[in-house]
Amino acid sequence: NAQTNRLIINADQGDVTINKHIYGHFAEHLGTGIYGGIWVGKDSDIANQDGYRSDVLQALIDLEIPNLRWPGGCFADEYHWTDGIGEDRPTMVNTHWGGVTEDNSFGTHEFLDLCEKIGTVPYITGNVGSGSVDEMSKWIEYINFDGISPMAKLREKNGRSEPWNIEYWGVGNESWGCGGNMTPEYYANEYRRYATFARNYGGNKLFKIAGGANDWDFRWTEVLMRDIPLNMMDGISLHYYTIPGTWEKKQSATDFTKKQFLETLIKAGRMDELLVKHGTIMDKFDPNKKVKLIIDEWGTWFEATPGSNPGFLQQQNTLRDALVAGITLNVFNKHAERVHMANLAQTVNVLQAIILTEGDQMLLTPTYHVFDLYKPHKDAKLVPHHLTSEKFKIDELETEALHVSTSRSEDGMLNISIVNINPDKEINLDCVLRGIKGKRITGQVVTTDAMDAYNTFDNKNRIGIEEFKNFNLKGDNLQVKVPSKSVLMLRVAE
Ligand code: AHR
């Protein structure tokens, strides 16, 4: 193949930091995402700490997840927080997700205590669709007020005297759909009203996030940016799911052709186009990028695992999902100036999960390993690069094989993440390292022999992180043999 694959990195340039919150997660009251997946209750036979599964806690601690979004999703707009505090908790029907009975045993205290246990920052989405301004306002008072007030007293009565002082607050979810089927004009007005009474207490300042657009709905972003004063919001969200085939007829998570594999990865890469387009609209109203983009739902969405409750959105996670994660995280890094936070949907047992459980068993998915691999990018400085990648074709689908992101950690290490989406071909990549005198280099990779391979409870480590050494560093020239269908992280030290 005469095509050259070239990567030029200017390691001493760049002034944008990749916010660690781009590597965030999302846990909704959906299927076994919370119940069974995170929370089993103190009396469970499954090993737990105060009701939280010990294995899942440890996996989340090890991954150093920066934030966790809760309680939904669509569930957020039918959730009444007062049902989930204190001794007597009424039940409700989770109408969005399988019509199951929600017993409210996992509520505000359980969520915020979980965040403390795993050392992560909470991000709560309030109910605009079926709630009230008063209800949301009191929830914030309950969580954050440090003084004498009815809500602070109630909190204390329920066992917590100190406020949690949380910052990230979402004002509704998908208000164009499950959150109330509103028009953008109507929602913008509602946002202004709800946000007015979402108070700051003490020195704590809320980071208020307006419920943003669904993927290609640019009008939604435009109207919100036009109608909501910039000083009333800190972020605006965006949801984009990678769905090969169509929404109505989803494809299998594990049984797919090479063409479907490629279709999926091309669709994942369209996140870049989305961020450019929504970002351009935001630039028009907010050239200084004061309002941040929060991609608080992203990931693959396939047909539910055969035999499972379709309302539980449970799916397996193959090497293909790992590649989707690698591509998407590279794109988020690229747009770090505008993108402040992102949340993969969803943490345990739901959609592109990082963890799957079955009874007392737990496994880490290939997607978990990509988040682990990409840790060095968190809070690192984005450094510019120029990539020339060969293209490849499957039937009429044609695309570039390589996707790259480059950053520099505080300790001076240069981080290069590379995704090769060609399922059949190892690629020789020629890198020029400018602005760094590379002396030592280490590599790690997530890959395996089959594009549809996944971890099972019988074989939990089929896909993990392995050491990678197929490179050669000479002066400022670095040659890398990037394996087919792989996600790679190289770290170069001076
Ligand atoms: O993540 C599953 C669902 O997808 C969320 O509840 C909703 O916000 C989106 O439509």
Per-residue pLDDT at 421 exceeds 50:
yes
Model confidence band, residue 4 (pLDDT cutoffs 50, 70, 90)? confident
The CB density around residue 181, as the number of other CB atoms within 10 Å, is: 12
Close Cβ partners of 54 (under 8 Å, ≥ 6 residues apart): 47, 48
Q: How far is CA 405 from CA 11, 289, 482, in A?
A: 12, 22, 14
Class of CATH domain 6-10+383-493: mainly beta
Whether the Cβ atoms of residue 324 and residue 352 lie closer than 8 Å to each other = yes
Structure tokens at 139: 């929830």
Please state, in angstroms and rounded to a whole number, the distance separating the CA atoms of residues 62 and 82.
Answer: 32
pTM: 0.97
CATH architecture of the domain covering 19-378? Alpha-Beta Barrel (3.20)
Please state, in angstroms and rounded to a whole number, the distance separating the CA atoms of residues 480 and 494.
Answer: 18
User: Which of the residues 102, 141, 167, 174 is marked catalytic?
Assistant: 174
Catalytic-residue membership of 297: yes
Structure tokens at 327: 């591509």
CA-based torsion, 150, 41, 173, 225: positive or negative? positive
Per-residue pLDDT at 327 exceeds 50:
yes
- CA 283 to centroid of ligand 1, rounded, Å: 27
Nearest CA to ligand 1 atom 7: 73
Type and span of the H or E element at 393: strand 391-394
Q: Where are the domains of the chain?
A: 6-10+383-493, 19-378
- CA 69 to centroid of ligand 1, rounded, Å: 12
Could you write out the three-class secondary structure of the chain? CCCCCEEEEECCCCCEECCHHHHEEECCCCCCCCECCCECCCCCCCCEECCEEHHHHHHHHHHCCCEEEECCCHHHHHCCHHHHCCCCCCCEEECCCCCEEECCCCCHHHHHHHHHHHCCEEEEEECCCCCCHHHHHHHHHHHHCCCCCHHHHHHHHCCCCCCCCCCEEEECCCCCCCCCCCCHHHHHHHHHHHHHCCCCCCCCCCEEEEEEEECCCHHHHHHHHHHCCHHHCCEEEEEEEECCECCCCECCCCCCCHHHHHHHHHHHHCHHHHHHHHHHHHHHHCCCCCCEEEEEEEEECCCCCCCCCHHHCCCCCEHHHHHHHHHHHHHHHHCCCCEEEEEEECCECCCCCCEEEECCEEEECHHHHHHHHCHHHCCCEECCEEEECCEEEECCEEEECEEEEEEECCCCCEEEEEEECCCCCCEEEEEEEECCCCCEEEEEEECCCCCCCECCCCCCCCCCCEECCCEEEECCEEEEEECCCEEEEEEEEC
Model confidence band, residue 193 (pLDDT cutoffs 50, 70, 90)? very high
Per-residue pLDDT at 225 exceeds 80:
yes
Q: What is the pLDDT of residue 2?
A: 52
Residue 406, classed as helix, strand or coil, is strand
Please state, in angstroms and rounded to a whole number, the distance separating the CA atoms of residues 412 and 247.
Answer: 44
Nearest CA to ligand 1 atom 2: 73
The CB density around residue 67, as the number of other CB atoms within 10 Å, is: 22
Domains 6-10+383-493 and 19-378 share a fold: no
Model confidence over 131-169: pLDDT tens digits? 999 999 999 999 999 999 999 999 999 999 999 999 999
Q: Where does ligand 1 bind, in terms of residues with CB under 6 Å?
A: 28, 72-74, 173-174, 297, 345-346, 351
Model confidence band, residue 1 (pLDDT cutoffs 50, 70, 90)? very low
Mean pLDDT of 213-238: 98
Model confidence over 292-313: pLDDT tens digits? 999 999 999 999 999 999 999 9
Q: What is the pLDDT of residue 269?
A: 98
Please state, in angstroms and rounded to a whole number, the distance separating the CA atoms of residues 279 and 44.
Answer: 47
- CA 358 to centroid of ligand 1, rounded, Å: 23
Model confidence over 356-397: pLDDT tens digits? 999 999 999 999 999 999 999 999 999 999 999 999 999 999
ipTM: 0.99
By most ligand atoms within 8 Å of CB, the mutation choice from 297, 349, 351, 352 for ligand 1 is 297
Close Cβ partners of 375 (under 8 Å, ≥ 6 residues apart): 23, 64
Mean pLDDT of 30-45: 98
Q: Mean pLDDT score of the chain, rounded to an integer?
A: 97
Whether the Cβ atoms of residue 460 and residue 453 lie closer than 8 Å to each other = no
Mean pLDDT of 2-27: 94
